Amino acid sequence: MAAHRSCRPVWLFILCSFSLFIIAGSQETTVAPEQHASVLDNPQTAAETAEQTAGESGGVEERRWEGTEVRDAAAQKQAEPAVLQPTPQPKDDFQEELVVRPLHSGDIYASFQFRTLWETDFMRGNKVSHYRLFPKSLGQVISKFSVRELHISFTQGYWRTMQWGQPYLPSPPGAELWVWFQDSVTDVDATWKELTNVLSGIFCASLNFIDSTNTVQPSASFKPLGIGNVTDHRFLRYATLPREIVCTENLTPWKKLLPCGSKVTVFVSLFISQKDTFGIHLCVNAASFSFCVLMYSCCSLQAGLAVLLKSEKLFHSSFHSQAVHIRPVCQDWQCKTTSWELRQTLNVVFDLHNSGQGKREWSLFKMFSRTLTEACPLASSSKIYIDITDNPEGEQFELSPATSLLSQAMVLGDRRTFSVYDLTQQDTFGSVRSLNLLIRWKSTEGDMLRPLLHAERYVAGYGLQTGEIHTLMYNHHPYRSFPVLQLDSVPWYLRLYIHTLTVTSKGKDNKPSYIHYQPSKDRVRPHLLEMLVQLPPNSVTEVTVQFERALLKWTEYTPDPNHGFYVGSSVISSLVPSTVAMDTNSTRERPLFSSFFPCKEESSYFVRVYTEPLLVNLPTPDFSMPYNVICLTCTVVAVGYGSLYNLLTRSFQIEEPSPGLAKRIANVIRKMRGVPPL
């Protein structure tokens, strides 16, 4: 259960309790207005509640779909005599989702989606001083560095596409950062360098190691995902750190960006239209409407899906990835008003064998060591989606507790069916006030649908002088061919022979229709290679290029040079043919996991695939020899030259032996008598 601690003083608790008795009497006379207000604010919830009541009265529980047509119910409620005063809506909104996909291998894939929308303008240089849900640290970064879009991810592990399918949001192993700057930036490179240093401090990562030697400026890849068709790639920068290690120190600042993600003291503004357990509601003129006085509540806030983000469980997994995406989006179809979207995602795959479980059974408590007790009070939507597309009749696995609310969404070119648990509804938690979803497998049969696009990469050759990079791109579509855009960023110490570049498909040469190559400069910039290749149906396309290993200076080697040097993943982007008609309306209300990449065509969907990072050995000197030489030299200097120097600089003096005691006494007596000493 989620730990909920309160830091309010005792007198405030007594005052709240006393106010509840006062409000209890007035609530009986204001039931109709409050119900009317809830219908106007959320007609979908009202329709679902009515359907659930009707189902319970009939004695038969029917599975219902997530409501989309509720105009009639809202119109009937509007006919009531009560009239409500319009309440000013806040300009920011927060939503959270958790998607759970049972995999055929027995593993479980969980994807967290947190989205914060804020109707403000950072592009015109306006200084924003008040932040409610949007993190102030990121807002200041956008304003100071004139950022149009920012995408950053930290990943531990490699996504196994052929075993797990396509992820909702792909990311390469290590750290990835790509930023679009506004056209008002004069020195993009200096701004980029300063931005990486600031982000390194915010996320407690090694982003300060990003410099010109691992930064590229793509010419065709990484188009903006927000509004605006920016084609000037001078304002785009892309960099990766494939060796970055993701740990708890990166998760903690990521969680603090969430409104309900960390145990911090916050001031929460609660209104009567929001169902919350904190604050004092003062009902004024209960016959017409209910008005809640603004109340600042000092409390330790940690609720909603953020409760499940326990580092001990998240990092004990086969794959873990956390990301932050900032972009401007449209609020309506005509894009008359825009907002800034902050989307925080966390993807994790729990391995059945690594978890130590002896049976194919998963639950929220087994995955995260916690259960859910309430939704985030600041979230307008808090839902859990369970993918049951491959389990329509329950023959593959059993889901408990069962829900009658279903939803369909177009995800990765396929129509998927989900069981939905709405955390804003109190009935979801049951009588025990705790939600612990349980997935128990019944059968191990069933084949996973192979992804249409898949890529691999490896290094071939022998010795430490030359080598060859092989990239394999698979098109599993039986009769459709489609183009892919490949981006490779190779460090400067792997000197590519671009004349050896070959592209073959089904044993024949496949000439790329577009090639952009930027050669490297030693210790200045890396290689950049972009190609547009057409993949034939049901084929494997191989891209090979030879390289030569450079000899580094002894100060340029890492502390563990024999481990090897990492080369970032290759990026494959494509519009893959879809089996169903995709939704091109980006402003339509959809689940968060299906609305990240914009869709321009109904017949295709966008896919980005990352290959494995490469580990290349370079000619490495024997670093033990300098140690041996230093030891030998120091020994020779200490024994040989030290002895000679001691003999040349030492001064010798003859000292007489000291007289005996009797002689000293006699000399004293003779001195007293004035006689010369002996």
pLDDT digits (tens, 9 = 90+) for 240-295: 999 999 999 999 999 999 998 765 434 443 333 343 333 333 333 333 333 333 33
> What's the rounded Cα separation, in Å, for the pair 542 and 533?
11
- pLDDT category, 624, cuts 50, 70, 90? confident
pLDDT in tens, 10-41: 444 544 454 544 444 433 333 333 333 333 33
Q: Does residue 602 register a pLDDT over 80?
A: no
Nearest to 275 by CA among 428, 371, 133, 379: 379
Which region among 178-182, 223-227, 501-505 has the lowest average model confidence (pLDDT)? 223-227
Tokens, residue 10: 């005792």
User: Does residue 472 sit in the same domain as residue 418?
Assistant: no
Position 653 scores a pLDDT of 75
> What's the rounded Cα separation, in Å, for the pair 404 and 387?
14
Q: Does residue 1 register a pLDDT over 80?
A: no
175 three-class SS: strand
Interval 448-460 mean pLDDT: 89
pLDDT in tens, 315-374: 989 999 999 999 998 877 777 788 899 999 999 999 876 655 556 788 899 889 889 988
User: Does residue 476 sit in the same domain as residue 377?
Assistant: no
Position 198 scores a pLDDT of 96
User: Does residue 394 sit in the same domain as residue 492?
Assistant: no
Interval 507-532 mean pLDDT: 95
130, part of any domain: yes
Position 229 scores a pLDDT of 62
Interval 574-593 mean pLDDT: 76
User: Does residue 102 sit in the same domain as residue 203?
Assistant: yes
CA distances from 376 to 46, 276, 302 (A): 20, 9, 8
275, part of any domain: no
Residue 158 has a CB neighbour count (10 Å cut-off) of 15
The DSSP symbol for 462 reads: -
CA distances from 160 to 199, 243, 458 (A): 29, 18, 15
> What's the rounded Cα separation, in Å, for the pair 340 and 69?
29
pLDDT in tens, 93-107: 999 999 999 888 778
User: Does residue 238 sit in the same domain as residue 110?
Assistant: yes
Last residue of a domain, one of 396, 416, 441: 441
Which distant-in-sequence residues (6+ apart) come within 8 Å of 392 by Cβ? Answer: 417
CA atoms in the 13 A half-sphere facing the CB of 572: 24
Q: Does residue 90 register a pLDDT over 80?
A: no
User: Does residue 405 sit in the same domain as residue 505?
Assistant: no
Tokens, residue 298: 């000092």
Residue 521 has a CB neighbour count (10 Å cut-off) of 12
Interval 219-227 mean pLDDT: 90
Position 292 scores a pLDDT of 37
The DSSP symbol for 638 reads: I
The CATH number given to whatever domain includes residue 544 is 2.60.40.740
Higher pLDDT, residue 643 or 242: 242
203, part of any domain: yes
95 alpha-carbon distance from chain centroid: 16
User: Does residue 463 sit in the same domain as residue 434?
Assistant: no
User: Does residue 476 sit in the same domain as residue 434?
Assistant: no
Burial class (CB in 10 A: 0-12, 13-18, 19+), 656: exposed
CA distances from 416 to 391, 594, 605 (A): 11, 10, 15
pLDDT in tens, 109-133: 999 999 999 888 776 656 677 788 9
* Residues of the domain holding 575: 453-580+601-616
- Given a contact cutoff of 8 angstroms between Cβ atoms, the answer to whether 498 and 528 are in contact is no
Last residue of a domain, one of 402, 420, 441: 441
Position 187 scores a pLDDT of 94
Higher pLDDT, residue 105 or 190: 190
- Given a contact cutoff of 8 angstroms between Cβ atoms, the answer to whether 484 and 574 are in contact is yes
CA atoms in the 13 A half-sphere facing the CB of 131: 17
- Total of domains in the chain: 2
Q: Does residue 641 register a pLDDT over 70?
A: yes
> What's the rounded Cα separation, in Å, for the pair 617 and 614?
10
User: Does residue 534 sit in the same domain as residue 554?
Assistant: yes
Q: Does residue 646 register a pLDDT over 80?
A: yes
122, part of any domain: yes
Position 126 scores a pLDDT of 63
pTM of the entire structure? 0.77
User: Does residue 434 sit in the same domain as residue 572?
Assistant: no
- pLDDT category, 6, cuts 50, 70, 90? very low
User: Does residue 507 sit in the same domain as residue 359?
Assistant: no
Last residue of a domain, one of 418, 441, 464: 441
CA distances from 323 to 251, 347, 489, 518 (A): 10, 9, 21, 29
User: Does residue 385 sit in the same domain as residue 480?
Assistant: no
Most confidently modeled range among 433-437, 567-571, 600-604, 642-646: 567-571
The type of residue at 631 is C
pLDDT in tens, 58-81: 333 344 555 433 334 334 434 444
606, part of any domain: yes
642, part of any domain: no
474, part of any domain: yes
113, part of any domain: yes
